[in-house]
Amino acid sequence: MKWWLNLYFAEGPGIAKDLPRATGLRLVWQTIAREWWNLIILNVVFITASLPIVTIPAAYAAMVRVTATMVEDEPCEPWRDFREAFITLLLPSLSLSLLCAAMVGLGAAATRAYAQAATESLAFAVPLAIAAAFLGLVTLFTTFAFTLLATQRPLLPHLLKAAAIAVLVRPLPVLAALGANAALWVFHIAAYPSTILLAVLVNFSFGTLLITFATLATAQASLAYARSRNEEERIKTIPPIQTGATASN
């Protein structure tokens, strides 16, 4: 009887006040360890909110908002925060998704067409490369744009500009995060159906958490830059360029 009460109520070692914040993968790990239960709730809420299909963009944006709270180590209540974000972002995220879908669709179609053509004539290799690069860039652009929309609610021109800047400044962490997402889903499909619970409980929210880690700081810095009017402010807000391939804030 006593020992399990102690488990809960015994004094802990305390938390130092000026502990430097962990960075990179360590921070990712700490966040997951702290928020695992909220991530599970979030995943289920996301799946439910996505069922009408047209709400997927809003559900994704809301999920980004909630994971951003986690990344910033702020108190988060997945259900309440999700609902609020979902409602306010319903239309904006739908519009943004149409825009992004058009670009990604264009990139995908071009890539596919040139890929087929390239099998017949190597002369199409160059346009194929260009189309593929475009597809990659608009995918990254979409990721950043959604993070911006979900966390900052900027004006459309600022949003587009900031997302474009962010893609150029720090694409690698996002690529890594997208890669991790892809790996997660490949694993899920390969081991299906034994991994069905994984998808239901964590895949979406966990994957989104990684993306938010990779995009949040860069997106915010880029937005500050895009919003700044004069030269001096710009110099102060220049986003940090980092070459590491892992997500780190």
The smaller minimum CB distance to other proteins, of residues 13 and 193, is found at 13
Among 2, 13, 33, 193, binds other proteins (CB under 8 A): 13
- Residues 30, 210: Cα–Cα separation, whole Å: 13
Minimum CB separation from other proteins for residue 6, in Å?
11
The smaller minimum CB distance to other proteins, of residues 18 and 232, is found at 18
The smaller minimum CB distance to other proteins, of residues 85 and 159, is found at 85
- Alpha-helical segments (H) within 153-249: 156-169, 171-190, 196-198, 204-227, 231-237
112-151 footprint of other proteins as x/- string (CB under 8 A):
----------------------------------------
**Candidates 11-19, 43-51, 87-95, 142-150 — which segment interacts with other proteins by CB under 8 A?**
11-19
- Residues 114, 126: Cα–Cα separation, whole Å: 9
* Nearest alpha carbon to residue 109 among 123, 121, 127: 127
Backbone dihedral region of 56: left (phi > 0), alpha (psi from -120 to 50 degrees) or beta? alpha
Q: How many residues bind other proteins (CB under 8 A)?
A: 13
Interaction of residue 12 with other proteins, rule CB under 8 A = yes
N-to-C CA span, the chain:
44
Going by C-beta distance under 8 Å and a sequence separation of 6 or more, which residues neighbour residue 226? Answer: 154, 158, 161, 162, 165
Interaction of residue 20 with other proteins, rule CB under 8 A = no
Interaction of residue 34 with other proteins, rule CB under 8 A = yes
Reported as type and span, the H/E element at residue 127 is: helix 125-152
The smaller minimum CB distance to other proteins, of residues 203 and 205, is found at 205
Interaction of residue 3 with other proteins, rule CB under 8 A = no
Phi, psi of 245 (to 5 degrees): -90, -5
Interaction of residue 17 with other proteins, rule CB under 8 A = yes
Residues in the chain: 249
By CB under 8 A, what part of segment 70-89 binds other proteins?
73-76
Among 1, 2, 14, 231, binds other proteins (CB under 8 A): 14
Could you list the residues that contact other proteins (CB under 8 A)?
A: 8-9, 11-15, 17, 34, 73-76
